[in-house]
Amino acid sequence: MSVLNRIAGLCVIGLLVGVFGNAQRENIFSDWRPNSNTHGVRYVGSKACLECHEPQARQLNTPMGQALEVAPDCRIINTRGKLTFKNGPYTYELSRQGKSVVYSVSDGVKSIAKPILYCFGQGHVGQTYLFRHNGVLYETRVSYFEKIRKLDFTIGHQPAVPTSLEDALGRSIGGDEPQQCFGCHTTGAVHGLELKLDQLNAGVGCEACHGPGEKHLVTAKEKKLDRLEIFNPGDLSAHDLSQSFCGTCHTGFEQAMLQQGQGGINNIRFQPYRMFSSRGHNTNDARLGCVACHNPHEKLEKDAAYYDPKCLACHLTKPTDSKTTRRNADACPVSTKQCVTCHMPKVELPGMHASFTDHWIRIARPGDPVPR
């Protein structure tokens, strides 16, 4: 939920290159891209995809598919029960009350209670909550973190004691931030620049990446296989897929250049940007794209050994091996196993109570600073 800002200096060079590149590639995304116009085509929901695409539609059970829950379905609150947090004289509470999830803040004399509307994140790392106050969307000042199994300050909120009960509630979400948040955590909530929360489907479903499926259903039933009326991100080049498509939500290089104060450890979660910044890995080779290692239709693989063949698709197994057109990257002199544990270390982001895999590929030595 970060707000985009302009950054000066050397980043301007990268920005100009990115803008020029985007102008050349714009026709690639004329039919669909994340958070784009729907051209009046209706969303049909991921369940409609199950009949023909059952293996892929299982994405509903992945972290992406569970990127947002509406409050009645918030499993963290349902499982953990009442959650509380104390900051100076202010007491925070998240609890289920009947069919609602209620967020309340008290200063010991007065209190404000609001029903939670949306739960962002599936709780593997944490979960943040949105509610309405005076007709405006607000982000709760506290969030749930799985590692500590309790509430703590939401990322971006200062731990200083608030100056008033109103200030203690959280922060209002304005500008284009709601479109960014809901565009990356739901399906169908954003139509161009317009936010339509009454039309959202919780989580990142099939149509979040492939576009609204109304016309596709018609052509598929009529067996018009020459024009399926659906967007396939797999047709994009490796660079466009990773940096411009996946990077829409996971933050690619060009987008990262616009975010002020997001250097080093603060952009650990910008996986496409950090992959692109890795020496020797900013090519258009499909073996270095996001989907080379991560299938968006399946759960994230956490076993380090799973990624070894991905590395060895480019790197030689032994220093004495001869390089080929396909495998021309040097062999690691240490090992051919558990590659990511050395070259893509996990870094803990302050305040997140969790470690994230750093996609800036390098020889990571203990004590070395996190690259920018």
Domain parsing of the chain, residue ranges: 11-28+234-357, 32-65+179-230, 68-172
Using a pLDDT cut of 90, give the percent of the chain over it.
Answer: 59
The answer to whether the CB of 313 falls within 8 A of the CB of 327 is yes
pLDDT-derived band at 18, boundaries 50, 70, 90: very low
pLDDT tens-place string over residues 295-329: 988 888 999 999 999 999 999 999 999 999 999 99
Predicted local confidence at residue 9, as pLDDT: 30
Helix or strand holding residue 202 (H, E): strand 201-202
Torsion of the alpha carbons at 160, 164, 170 and 175, rounded to the nearest 10: -110
Quote the pTM value: 0.85
pLDDT-derived band at 361, boundaries 50, 70, 90: very high
The answer to whether the CB of 46 falls within 8 A of the CB of 200 is no
Q: Is residue 261 over pLDDT 70?
A: no
1 or 282: whose pLDDT is higher? 282
Predicted local confidence at residue 351, as pLDDT: 86
Q: Is 342 exposed, middle or buried (0-12, 13-18, 19+ CB in 10 A)?
A: middle
Predicted local confidence at residue 35, as pLDDT: 59
27 or 165: whose pLDDT is higher? 165
Range in 46-60, 107-121, 321-335, 345-359 with the lowest mean pLDDT: 46-60
In 3-state terms the chain splits into helix, strand, coil percentages (rounded to 5) of 35, 20, 45
Torsion of the alpha carbons at 69, 207, 248 and 179, rounded to the nearest 10: -50
Q: What is the mean pLDDT of the segment spanning 28-38?
A: 58
Q: What is the mean pLDDT of the segment spanning 141-154?
A: 96
Quote the radius of gyration of the chain (alpha carbons, Å): 22
Range in 2-6, 105-109, 201-205, 316-320 with the lowest mean pLDDT: 2-6
pLDDT-derived band at 119, boundaries 50, 70, 90: very high
- Average pLDDT across the chain, whole number: 86
> Cα(354)–Cα(143) distance, rounded to whole angstroms?
13
Predicted local confidence at residue 260, as pLDDT: 60
pLDDT tens-place string over residues 204-235: 999 999 999 999 999 998 988 888 889 999 88
